[in-house]
Amino acid sequence: MNGTTRLRVDPTRCTGHGCCAELLAEHISLDEWGYPVIAEADIPAVLLRDAKRAVADCPALALRLSREAY
Amino acid sequence: MATMTAQAQVSHPGSASGLAPGRRLLPPAGLTLDQHLVLHGPPAYRGRLGALVDELRAAGLTGRGGAAFPVHRKMSAVLSAGGRPVVAANGAEGEPAAHKDKTLLALAPHLVLDGLQLAAEAVGARDAYLYIHRAGRVSQYLDAVLAQRHAAQVDRVPVSVVYAPPRFLAGQESALVHRIEGGPAVPRYAPRLVAECGIAGAPTLVQNVETLAHIALIARYGAPWFREAGTPEEPGTMLATIYPASGKARVVETAPGTPISALLDVQAAQAVLVGGYHGTWLPAARAAQLRLSNTALRPEGAALGAGVLAALPYDRCGVRETARVLRYLADESAGQCGPCLNGLPRVADTWATLAGAGPHRAARANLERWAHLLDGRGACHHPDGSMRFARSAFTVFGDDLRHHERGYCSGTNSAPFLPLPAHAPLADEDWS
């Protein structure tokens, strides 16, 4: 299947721990209140491992990777 | 029945309905069931799943709750989702400036409920919900109306009434789903569409009550009749809540393509608010040149939204009005999403600073930094809509902002103009 892999955050679950931004600084920054701002871009293959780690380590279980069609 | 209606249209295109032109939804006074049946007959059931969808596609009907999504596409999504669907009529008009849905429910409940039955038939639903505010007389009246329709065997699918709390976001589609499931009426983050996975996981067709009333009329009088009003891109009539600069709000039935200046005393206004509190301020001189349609409003960054048009009189201060509404919007955040919970109160605080006198440099820097920081970062569109409203005010009231900075305000009348609920902000837990 053609498509892209994106990181999505459930904003109702996210409590701003900020772990994701530490594990995936190339793709996630934190706003001034500590909540993630996720780049609107495909996750490149080299970052996929780190992205999976960020998803698994989110204390609020708010992050997920989503395969999205073009 | 459907064939007869279609033939009548072909031979008498202007008179297929027998309704006064442009006055389709709102009778001068409320109709009893008997009067409604004399005027429109029983609901124009099709007797077949999906049969209404093509007619609605031909009519070009779009949702009247604010998003203007094509109705036939929503129905098709529900139909192709599989499983037993559910339908819900959304009459929980949370916008304090909007009165069209309440007015419609009070004056023409049978059109709305006919539409709900027809929508249920079109998608094969066996359960229907009417989601409304508990507003004294109107909700009692609707209970009586439903009982009457049941006794007269007009309705084929039972309708349950569910009450929405008096909150701005209670009418948001996923909040409706939450509330009907028995939870609080707060929006939720749902990667799947409500049309595919809504109430208790069932494919759910949620339509605004005005949309349903149009469905009842289209089923009866056909798509070509519907298209006699409006523009080719935005056919039909629409309800709007009008706040003239000169006085009292009123609900009108108009048609897309009508000049805004025909609906509102634009010359008596400094600015016009289009679409409500998630909408857009326009300079009055610009609004005077525009027609009321999404096609005309889109290049201005505006949309019809929930059909609110308000003319801000010259004696009021647009900065103070904006600051008041932003405080309300911040208080109405469901508090679930960090960017909304943290961002909106700060935006409201900053506008309160702008509404006072004195230097604005720090406040302006904050607003510029936050201008696009909240967009798309909530489970619902509350942060996006609130920031759109704030950004448009920043542009339209630019001169007033500079005046405030120098300690001067052009407003001579400090009475609030835009309507807000009289009560203090409700407790956080008060969402059911």
User: Residues B146-178: pLDDT tens digits?
Assistant: 999 999 999 999 999 999 999 999 999 999 999
Nearest CA in chain B to A17: B338
pLDDT at B390: 97
Under the banding of pLDDT at 50, 70 and 90, the label for residue B261 is very high
Determine whether B4 is exposed, middle or buried from the number of CB atoms within 10 Å of its CB (0-12, 13-18, 19+): exposed
For residue B98, give both structure tokens: 């909007």
- Nearest to B71, CA basis, from B221, B226, B197: B226
Picking from A12, A17, A40, A61 by the largest number of B CB atoms within 10 A of its own CB, the best residue to mutate is A12
Would you tell me which residues 338-397 of chain B have a C-beta closer than 8 angstroms to some C-beta of chain A?
338-340, 342-343, 373, 377-379
Q: What is the ipTM of this complex?
A: 0.91
Distance CA B213, CA B264 (A): 25
| Nearest-neighbour CA in chain A from B282: distance (Å) | 30
Q: What is the pLDDT of residue B381?
A: 95
Band of pLDDT at residue B23, cut at 50, 70 and 90: confident
Q: Is A27 in contact with A7 (CB distance < 8 Å)?
A: yes
Range of the domain at A34: 3-69
pLDDT at B13 exceeding the cut of 80? no
Measured CA to CA, the distance from residue B385 to residue B389 in angstroms comes to 6
Q: Report whether pLDDT(B1) > 70.
A: no
Q: What is the pLDDT of residue B137?
A: 84
Residue A41 is part of a domain; what is its CATH number? 3.30.70.20
**B245 in Cβ contact with B269 (< 8 Å):** yes
**Cβ A11–B337 below 8 Å, yes or no?**
yes
CB B61 within 8 A of CB B214: yes
Q: What is the model's pLDDT at position B424? A: 61
pLDDT over 70 percentage in chain B: 95
Cβ <8 Å between B378 and A16? no
Q: Determine, for residues B336 and A33 on separate chains, whether the beta-carbon distance falls below 8 Å.
A: no
pLDDT at B4: 34
**Is a pLDDT exceeding 90 seen at residue B228?**
yes
- Mean of per-residue pLDDT scores for chain B: 92
Contact B189 A11 (CB under 8 A): yes
Nearest to A12 among B337, B342, B373 (CB): B337
B407 phi, psi to nearest 5 deg: 85, 20
Q: Output the pTM of the full model.
A: 0.93
Q: Say yes or no for a CB contact (<8 Å) between A35 and B373.
A: no
Length of chain B: 432
Contacts of B172 (CB under 8 A, 6+ apart): B94, B187, B380, B381, B382
State which residues of chain A have pLDDT below 70.
1-2, 69-70
Cα dihedral across residues B326, B327, B330, B332: positive or negative: negative
Q: Do A35 and B378 touch (CB under 8 A)?
A: no
Q: Indicate the pLDDT class of residue B10, thresholds 50, 70 and 90.
A: very low
Query: In sequence order, which residues have a C-beta less than 8 Å from that of residue A12 and are 6 or more positions away?
Result: B188, B189, B336, B337, B379
The count of structural domains within chain A is: 1
Confidence of residue B142 (pLDDT cuts 50, 70, 90): very high
Q: A20-24, B34-38, B137-141, B225-229: which has the minimum mean pLDDT?
A: B137-141
- The answer to whether A11 contacts B339, with C-beta atoms less than 8 Å apart, is yes
* Residue-level pLDDT at B9: 34
Rounded mean pLDDT, B8-35: 72
pLDDT one-digit tens code per residue, B37-79: 999 999 999 999 989 999 999 999 999 999 999 999 999 999 9
